[in-house]
Structure 1
Amino acid sequence: MLRKKYYQFYANVNYRSCPECLALHGKISHSENSFASCPEDCHFTVVSFTRKELPFHKEQQREMRNAAQNELKRRKLFEQGISLLGEDNEQAISLLAESTRYDLYIPEVERLVEQKSEVLRNDKPLRERLLKLFVQAYSDKFGWRRYERLPELMRIAREQEGISRLREILA
């Protein structure tokens, strides 16, 4: 007998997503219980669907897995960039720039500034380079497809608010 019900795991892919949720993002299963390894405090959804919808969900799964892998790459690049600040600033900026191709989150920039406060306090040109990099990346992200559904004035306001915050923390 063929099973007629399937389940797909949806995580909110961002800097707060735990590695367990990212590992499950897009996974398809016959059992809703196969997603139990994700911590309860994470935000996720399990969607049920029929066998007829399986081809659509398999295609969606490929895109979702790609998004989760990109988030893991972004995190790794960002962490490597942070660790090199103050030691090899050129390589650090290169890694941070590469990470911004995937996304940029202001709370992570705040964490960078907190962790590297000594280095940044004593190196104004480095702060200016980081500010330029992050402002450009933050502005660019609002041109991405996922932001197109926001009303234009809301999108512009969010972009400007984020840029103002970046200027504030890297001043």
Structure 2
Amino acid sequence: MNIQKITFGNGCFWCTEAIFQHLKGVISVASGYAGGHTPNPTYMEICNGKTGHAEVIAVEYDADIISFDELLLVFFKTHNPTMLNRQGNDVGTQYRSAIFYHTDEQKQQAEAMVKKLTDERVFEKPIVTEITPMGEFYKADDHHQNYYNDNPMKPYCAFVIQPKLNKFVKEFTDKIKPELL
């Protein structure tokens, strides 16, 4: 096994956690906060947007099964990286598009992917994804972990997360863990 870590901010962590948990090669996904200035922030502090943190997912994956470039494609294609501080109805700096890299190689690959997607005009507007070194990760409370799987019938899960998962499964069928198809 070739275990690597990456941290993504791409909107509400409940949505992004559910997506990345489905990928072959992903070992674990933890919801939390990164990129801010307040130590040990609470969810309510994050929601007010004053801590500087983004809602993120810390992804641990086996690079022998899924490449970093494949993770980047899933990241970019499952949220809108052209929206500054917003994803859908979620508005604020805590919902910004961000890649918190753990190695210089990840930084270079992320920058190359942004350039490639820009050159190919995949998005109509410029990509505003922040690419920044990983600092401190603060894990969210337990009730935020595995949220979709534990609460599939809650309205947010049914009306926001499920449609995103459906689109994701359709586009990335070959990358989905077989037991989840």
TM-score (norm 2): 0.25
Flag the structure with higher helix content.
1
Q: Which has the larger radius of gyration?
A: 1
- Structure with more relative contact order (C-alpha pairs < 8 Å, separation 6 or more): 2
TM-score (norm 1): 0.27
Flag the structure with higher strand content.
2
